[in-house]
Amino acid sequence: MIRPARPDDVESILGLIRELAVYEELEHHMDVTADALREDLFGGSPRCEALIAEADDGTTAGYALFFPTYSSFKTRRCLHLEDVYVTPDARGRGHGKALLATVATIARNRGCPRLDWNVLSWNQPAIDFYGELGAEVLSDWWLCRLEGDSLVRVASLADKIE
C-alpha cells in the first residue's frame, strides 16, 4: 500500500534515507536531522512531499521523496523525484513500481509534463528497473553541483560583478 507520509513517519523516513546513503556510498554527505526533515515535509511552507510504501504487515517497506521544479521549455511546473528507496528485504514485491507510479500519477494530476530523477551510473539494477518502465536515461546530460566551499566561492563572485 502506498500512502502520503505523516509527521509520525519522519524517524522512519530518516532511517531509510540513511540506508539509501549507505547503499549509494554517500553517507559522508549526510547532514540531516529529524527536525529539519519534519519542517521540510510538514512545516508552514513544505519544500517537498513524501510517500510511504507499507508492507502487508504494516511495516515501512520504502519511501519516495519529491518536489516541484519548473521547465522553461514547457513553461509548466514539473516534479523531481529526489529519492525512491525500498528496503532490501522488501524488494521484488512491487513497492518501487508502486511508489514511482504514484508519483507519476501525482505529476499527471497536477498537469506536469515531466517527472525527472537521477540515477547513479553504477546502479545497474535501478537503471534496468527504470528502463523496464519506459524511462529514458539521458546520456547527453550531466548533473552539475556546487556545494560547500565551491558554493561559497561562486556565491562570493556576485559581490564582484557590476
Q: How far is CA 64 from the centre of its chain?
A: 6
Bridge partners of 3, per DSSP, are: 52
Q: How far is CA 1 from the centre of its chain?
A: 19
> Catalytic: which of 63, 70, 85, 130?
130
63 is an active site residue: no
Distance, CA of 94 to CA of 79 (rounded, Å): 22
Distance, CA of 67 to CA of 51 (rounded, Å): 12
Residue with cell 519511501: 63
Task: Give the residue numbers annotated as catalytic, written as ranges.
Answer: 130
